[in-house]
């Protein structure tokens, strides 16, 4: 299913999304937690940096904007300095805040987190302080929102409800919103509160509660995939939804699709640093995919990838489509095989470049694999992110080496190469030279052994013409397939006398270059 997923991701376009819910300002105070306070048995944080990010519905909005959607936000802020900061960040991200109301009866909701660094360990959250009022918004504000709902819905491809139980998502407002969306034929997705009464979400097309939330809403203890499916079915029936999703953290998601299909969508195991924002990211990606015309299966699969990437970051962090694409091509491969046709290899190279990766190419007969081959492949792989090996077909080898070659058939040679970890994929070519294959793959780096002069390398001019480069690597002296065959013919597997003392040179140490970090909707003060 990976190829359709990549295609869907690459063709999302710029859907228009209306996000309704609770706006939150996330403040992060970073510092060094080096000792215990003398005043009390608590860690002392020596603060050196402050960051501001958006949470709640405003987090969903910024995530969608970073993923290329056009976003309009509906919610409230207080009449304070924090509200000005929220609006400024929204506008910097190109988010329409014309439906964000300023109210006098509550402050802007702020969650202040203190993050401590200690020695070389990963930073850890030490404490969170919340500033908020959770009472429902007043009738005047609710009526003001209701008056603008028809226009806001008409401009949207999908509506997302991000309910953090801070007072915006009242039953009256949601009832008016869902009814208008239904009237206009627009989908509504909800990320619900934690509680036992979901009546106010009746009529939404789908919701994305997590394991605990779904359990509280249905009275079930969700321990297995079967439990998750049962909970999803119960919510779908009770709320009149077309589909139902229950997110299961490390176990992926349970889905009841519009046709009644029941499925569990597993996710790749991750190093979890912070679950903050994972639910927002899942809602954002599922909503974006559905708004672009994707299926629930595609939306859930891509939501799994994005949610997994989110928990690998500290706090609420933004993702780009390129990061999701990179994860897809890096960790899911190409249909389970590394031996690809020319067309499939070219498509894979294109995807890798779109994901910001550098494609490396080398070629050869690789008849009897030896240490020289392994070193060449390892050093070639060091030149970029994805190594493609062009392998001469059996007919091509015979024309180059004679009728007694190759010793091993092309399928066997390809399988052996594909088993090497540094090799990204293998593709077989019939021609005497790899020129046409190189033109099809358009690699960024062309690698050959140092026994070639630059002008002798086929494909060098082509690679350099599109901005790539040729890299010549040292060969391991005394090792060749021809010599191995000659020794085998003499009945000896010992090295020739002239090469008995040959030392395999150490591999050169290639320095890595760290890419500059991508800017996000973060305000940072050091």
- Catalytic positions: 280
Specify the 3-state DSSP secondary structure of 1: coil
d(C-alpha 256, C-alpha 337), whole Å: 31
Whether 225 and 251 have beta carbons less than 8 Å apart is answered as yes
Bridge partner list, 170: none
d(C-alpha 502, C-alpha 495), whole Å: 9
Beta-sheet pairing, 16-21 with 96-103 = unpaired
**Phi and psi of 68, rounded to 5°?**
100, 10
d(C-alpha 267, C-alpha 87), whole Å: 35
Whether 300 and 257 have beta carbons less than 8 Å apart is answered as no
d(C-alpha 267, C-alpha 166), whole Å: 31
Q: Which of 107, 111, 105, 146 is nearest to 125 (CA)?
A: 111
Bridge partner list, 246: 254
Whether 291 and 300 have beta carbons less than 8 Å apart is answered as no
CA 278 to chain CA centroid, Å, is: 12
Whether 112 and 128 have beta carbons less than 8 Å apart is answered as yes
Whether 318 and 62 have beta carbons less than 8 Å apart is answered as yes
- Percent helix, strand, coil in the chain, to 5, is 40, 25, 40
């Amino acid at each position: 299913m990976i190829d359709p997923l990549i295609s869907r991701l690459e063709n999302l376009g710029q859907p228009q999304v209306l996000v309704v819910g609770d706006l939150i300002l996330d403040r992060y105070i970073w510092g060094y937690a080096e000792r215990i306070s003398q005043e009390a048995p608590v860690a002392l944080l020596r603060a050196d940096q402050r960051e501001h990010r958006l949470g709640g519905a405003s987090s969903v909005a910024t995530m969608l904007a970073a993923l290329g959607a056009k976003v309009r936000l509906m919610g409230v802020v207080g009449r304070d300095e924090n509200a000005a900061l929220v609006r400024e960040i929204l506008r910097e991200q190109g988010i329409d805040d014309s439906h964000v109301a300023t109210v006098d009866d509550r402050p802007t909701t702020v969650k202040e987190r203190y993050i401590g660094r200690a020695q070389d360990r990963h930073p850890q959250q030490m404490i969170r302080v919340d500033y908020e009022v959770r009472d429902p918004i007043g009738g005047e504000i609710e009526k003001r929102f209701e008056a603008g709902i028809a226009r806001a819905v008409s401009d949207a491809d999908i509506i997302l409800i991000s309910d953090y139980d801070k007072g915006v998502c009242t039953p009256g407002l949601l009832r008016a919103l869902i009814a208008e969306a239904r009237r206009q034929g627009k989908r509504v997705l909800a990320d619900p509160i934690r509680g036992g009464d979901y009546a106010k979400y009746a009529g939404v097309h789908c919701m994305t509660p997590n394991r605990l939330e779904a359990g509280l809403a249905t009275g079930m203890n969700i321990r297995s995939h079967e439990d998750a499916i049962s909970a999803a079915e119960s919510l779908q029936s009770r709320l009149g939804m077309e589909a139902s999703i229950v997110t299961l953290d490390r176990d992926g998601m349970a889905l009841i699709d519009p046709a009644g299909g029941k499925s569990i969508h597993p996710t790749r195991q991750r190093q979890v640093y912070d679950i903050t924002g994972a639910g927002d990211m899942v809602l954002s990606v599922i909503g974006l995919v559905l708004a672009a015309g994707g299926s629930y299966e595609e939306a859930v699969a891509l939501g799994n990838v994005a949610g997994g990437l989110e928990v690998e970051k500290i706090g609420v962090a933004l993702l780009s489509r390129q990061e999701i694409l990179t994860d897809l091509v890096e960790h899911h491969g190409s249909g389970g095989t590394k031996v690809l046709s020319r067309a499939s290899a070219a498509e894979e190279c294109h995807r890798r470049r779109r994901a910001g990766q550098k494609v490396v190419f080398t070629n050869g007969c690789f008849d009897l694999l030896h240490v020289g081959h392994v070193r060449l492949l390892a050093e070639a792989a060091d030149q970029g992110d994805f190594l493609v090996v062009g392998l001469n077909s059996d007919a091509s080898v015979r024309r180059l080496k004679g009728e007694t070659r190759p010793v091993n058939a092309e399928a066997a040679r390809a399988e052996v190469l594909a088993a090497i970890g540094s090799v990204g994929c293998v593709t077989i070519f019939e021609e005497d030279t790899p020129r046409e294959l190189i033109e099809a793959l358009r690699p960024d780096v062309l690698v050959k052994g140092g026994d070639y002069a630059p002008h002798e390398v086929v494909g060098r001019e082509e690679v350099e013409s599109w901005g790539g480069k040729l890299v010549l690597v040292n060969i391991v002296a005394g090792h060749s397939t021809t010599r191995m065959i000659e020794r085998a013919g003499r009945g000896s597997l010992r090295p020739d006398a002239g090469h008995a003392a040959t030392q395999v040179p150490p591999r050169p140490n290639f320095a890595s270059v760290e890419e500059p970090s991508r800017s996000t909707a973060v305000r940072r003060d050091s």
